[in-house]
Structure 1
Amino acid sequence: MSKSEVVPETTGRISYKELKQVIKLGLVQGNLIPAFAGAWLAIVMTHQGFLASMPQLIIMLIGSALVMGGSCAINNYYDQDVDAVMPSKQNRPTVNDRITDRQLIMLSLGMMIVGELLLFMINVPAGVIGLAGIIGYVSFYSIWSKRHTTWNTVVGSFPGAVPPLIGWVAIEGHISMMALALFAVVFAWQPIHFYALAIKRSDEYRLANVPMLPSVKGFNRTRIGMFIWLVVLLPLPFIMHELGTTFMVLATLLNLGWIGLGLTSFKVSTDKTKWATKMFVYSLNYLVVFFALVVVISLIKMI
């Protein structure tokens, strides 16, 4: 379905609410949490002054937000035909002609270019990782894997996990084992999060012919995939042992709680959609709580 089939012509200026939809502001804000945590941890672990590092931190957050928002806008541009079919996405400005293709491309390119300039202003590694995130999300996820393979969610997890790397290298200048551990946490978190969402919208993805795992392989296969990634999360706090025993214990309890919730899906009376909703909500809280633990415990150790 083309845009012209939805609304004949552009109806006016895009509102702030619609702009938030175009750049997926909620997704951007969520990804800024691990980006900040990565930078904060680098400051603490390399014994740098917080105030002295404030300029790099602020520029990194703004640059990362622009890069992610611009990438999401391109994703919305490319997904117009799919979004026009899915009921939950038919109110997007890209579908109902509240924003033109030209405006959307200019907005996207402008955000990504300015964001990349800011990241390169900090240092080359931050800019390169940001660029890798753009290429991975736009090319490998949006254009290729989303429409051609059930592995699309895993492919998209690579660019989706770069924010903590950008945050770390913006302060430290090079990648460390701690930075890779943060990357691994966000990477393993994403399939669980997005599979839960895909279960709730499996009929829509099937209607739009998008090969999301629940739509193609079904609930049981998707549940197995989610458990695999839940298990992958388990050892990651122990790689971050420099944060201490308290962190490892609390993070492990957080992981075990998620596994416990996952196990409730084996009850005969379980409503799959309600279970997926609970898993989705837990995933949102997980990301915030996990990285809050990283920041708070590292702050306590610094004091």
Structure 2
Amino acid sequence: MNKDLVLSEKEVVKAELSNQRNISRFLIDIKRLTKGLVLVSNILPVFTGLWLALYLTNISFTAYWDVFLVTLIGSTLVIAGALIINNWFDADIDAKMSRTKKRPTVTGRFSLNTVLMTGIGLSLLGFFFLLFTTFEAVIFAFIGWFTYVVLYTMWSKRRYTLNTVIGSVSGAVTPLIGWSAIEPDLHTVPVMLSVILFIWQMPHTYAIEIKYLKEYEEAGVKMLPVVHGISKTRRHMMVYIALLLPLSFTLMQLGPTFVITITLLNIIWLLLAVRGFFMNDDLKWARWNFLYSVNYITFLFLMTIVVTVA
């Protein structure tokens, strides 16, 4: 056998493996840059808002499939753009935290200028797509983008413990983007889903802040448990979770099964929050609340779609 041929084949295989690793690493970097799970969790409420607009106004999907598609593309790009700009601005903080130090803005795999231009470009492209829906959808998307990028990331995150409340506005508008893209006039159901999403984000985010308390302290980020301690954060979490209890009854149009199920989930979460006052392991309790909050909000929006399909 020709030795040169064998070496050549090995080099080809080695090059292919190297290319595969580079592609895999690139995709992982993109996922980290756009905060993959955060992006998906924000698109689900947009989809739900779109679906509710069709269901509650008795509009056929076939008549609005193009608006459906354009809205999902546009909102995804706007949200991704905002998340990327957040990574660009917070590169110095991310470098001090173990959970974020592998982001490409920290590792240097993507230059900060490239990241900034990408974030701005995707945001503008997203707004361009949304212009083909309604003016109201563009406004809600802009409120979410501006709140997250300017008011949360650039202004309040490093200065005030209220940054969590401010940042929650950006996530809360997502159902309204979807709804208003089809029906400009607001309706009780999407509005109350937006309110629920706003309130939910406080205990959800506070649980994250307790989980990574030491990292936030080292990075100098003014999160509630960093400034006022875990005990006060627990009390805040319990109040916000308790506020979710009556809100499920504002969604009676989705049927008694939906209301009863969500109410039971709210009660379980409240009991879990109370449990924190009798536990010595704050980290374990924060993890429980974080996992419950993620499953809670995912289930809520998926069930909203399921009960309207049935």
**What CA deviation, in whole Å up to 9, does each residue of 1:84-133 have, x standing for no partner?**
11122111110111111221112111110111111111111111111111
Question: May I ask how many residue pairs the two structures share in their alignment?
Answer: 289
**What CA deviation, in whole Å up to 9, does each residue of 1:8-61 have, x standing for no partner?**
xxx999701101111112101011111111111111000001222221112111
- State the distance in 2 between where 1:180 and 1:270 align: 38
| Structure 1 unmatched ranges of 5 or more | 1-10
| Structure 2 unmatched ranges of 5 or more | 1-21
Assess if the C-alpha contact under 8 Å between 1:13 and 1:99 holds in 2. no
2:158 to 135, 141, 147: 147
**Dislocated runs of 4+, deviation >3 Å:** 11-14
Assess if the C-alpha contact under 8 Å between 1:264 and 1:270 holds in 2. no
Larger Rg: 2
Assess if the C-alpha contact under 8 Å between 1:14 and 1:99 holds in 2. no
Amino acid at match of 1:119: L
Query: 1:169 aligned to 2:180?
Result: yes
1:105 maps to 116
Query: Counterparts in 2 of 1:196-275, with a 5 A limit?
Result: 196-267=207-278, 269-275=279-285
1:25 maps to 36
1:69 maps to 80
Kindly state the Cα deviation for residue 236 of structure 1 after the two structures are TM-superposed.
1.2
Amino acid at match of 1:125: E
- State the distance in 2 between where 1:65 and 1:194 align: 22
Query: Counterparts in 2 of 1:119-138, with a 5 A limit?
Result: 119-138=130-149
Structure 1 residues 12 and 80, CA gap change in structure 2 (3 angstroms) = farther
SS in 1 for 2:95: helix
Q: Percent identity?
A: 38
**TM-score calculated relative to the size of structure 2:** 0.90
1:280 to 280, 287, 290: 290
**TM-score calculated relative to the size of structure 1:** 0.92
Kindly state the Cα deviation for residue 69 of structure 1 after the two structures are TM-superposed.
0.6
Query: 1:90 aligned to 2:101?
Result: yes
Kindly state the Cα deviation for residue 229 of structure 1 after the two structures are TM-superposed.
0.9
Kindly state the Cα deviation for residue 135 of structure 1 after the two structures are TM-superposed.
0.8
Assess if the C-alpha contact under 8 Å between 1:38 and 1:168 holds in 2. yes
Assess if the C-alpha contact under 8 Å between 1:63 and 1:116 holds in 2. yes
Moved more, 30-39 or 277-286: 30-39
What is the Cα-based RMSD across aligned positions, in Å?
1.6
1:56 to 67, 75, 78: 67
Moved more, 145-154 or 256-265: 256-265
Query: 1:35 aligned to 2:38?
Result: no
Kindly state the Cα deviation for residue 277 of structure 1 after the two structures are TM-superposed.
0.4
Kindly state the Cα deviation for residue 174 of structure 1 after the two structures are TM-superposed.
2.6
2:305 maps to 295
SS in 2 for 1:160: helix
- State the distance in 2 between where 1:101 and 1:292 align: 37
Kindly state the Cα deviation for residue 193 of structure 1 after the two structures are TM-superposed.
0.8
- State the distance in 2 between where 1:266 and 1:134 align: 36
Assess if the C-alpha contact under 8 Å between 1:63 and 1:118 holds in 2. yes
